Chain A
Amino acid sequence: MDPMKIIENLGVRARLDSAPSIQVRNEVLNRISAQSKFSRLLPLSVFSGATAIAASMVLAAGIYYWFAGSDPMEELVVPLQMVSIW
């Protein structure tokens, strides 16, 4: 006998086999609530994190350049460096 015929016959009987009775309403609603909260919080936390990182980078760069740069007024009080050309 062709195995596919046997599979078909098994299929006919197996179709009558129905799933056990289940109740998932509460679990589904709980999971939806949890995921909704998470998806509402996620963009906010990602945005806050990115903002904090960007702000700290700007602050670090600002501090570095503050101490690295010279006072623009200093040029007025420093004696002129004369270079002898003859």
Chain B
Amino acid sequence: MGQAAEVEDHDRRDIQASLNGDQDAYGRLVDRYQQAVANLMWRFTRKHDELEELVQDVFVQAYFSLKSYRGEAPWLHWLRRIGTRIGYRFWKARERRKSLVQLDDVSVYTTDPDNLDAEEAAEALDGLLARLKPADRLVLTLQYLEQCSVKEIAHRTGWTIAMVKMRAYRARNRLRHIARQSGLLEEI
């Protein structure tokens, strides 16, 4: 038996026990997947306190929706789907009161991309994508940071494939426009 199947059996047992009210079993699931969920939610915020809250939101919502998990795909896929929707809602709520990263701050990073480490690159990308609308930002984030295919993006967001393609196309154009208009990235 492969490791993936073994892990899935593990999850299946804990999910069943959680449905029967065993909180320790759900605690084990949280322990097992919290870092993977955190890595996803890290795409939606760069603040530690917000990250913790988002990860909690994912697991709390997953718990109360547990009956609807059919066990056809790994539990992590299901968690990522919930996480994507929670992250998107978080961006939409924050859009009304967002304070954008200054483009000058971003250009400090992007003018010398070869010397960027992973954290700086993520900060720069976050600063750029934050200038887009949440739906556009979500498509590009999933595409470039999570390496999702169009089909996978459609699955996670609940949008149609045609809608994902159209949003990705528009988002790229908007980003090009923003980059050119601000003179950002020209020197590279």
Q: For residue A22, which residues in chain B have a CB less than 8 angstroms away from its CB?
A: 34-35, 38, 51-52, 55
Secondary structure of the B contact surface, majority rule: helix
Shortest CB distance B146–A (Å): 8
- Count CB-based A-B contacts (< 8 Å): 111
A56 on interface, CB distance cutoff 8 Å = no
Q: For residue A20, which residues in chain B have a CB less than 8 angstroms away from its CB?
A: 38, 48, 51
Q: For residue A6, which residues in chain B have a CB less than 8 angstroms away from its CB?
A: 110, 113, 179, 185, 188
Bits for B110-154, please: 1 = Cβ < 8 Å to A, else 0. 100100111101101100100000000000100011010000000
B34 near A25 with CB under 8 A, answer: yes
A35 on interface, CB distance cutoff 8 Å = yes
A10 on interface, CB distance cutoff 8 Å = yes
B35 near A21 with CB under 8 A, answer: yes
- The one of B59, B144, B176, B179 that contacts A24, using a Cβ cutoff of 8 Å: B59
How many of chain B's residues have a CB under 8 angstroms from any CB in A? 43
A10 and B124 in contact (CB under 8 A), knowing A19-B39, A24-B34, A24-B52? yes
A3 and B175 in contact (CB under 8 A), knowing A24-B34, A35-B64? yes
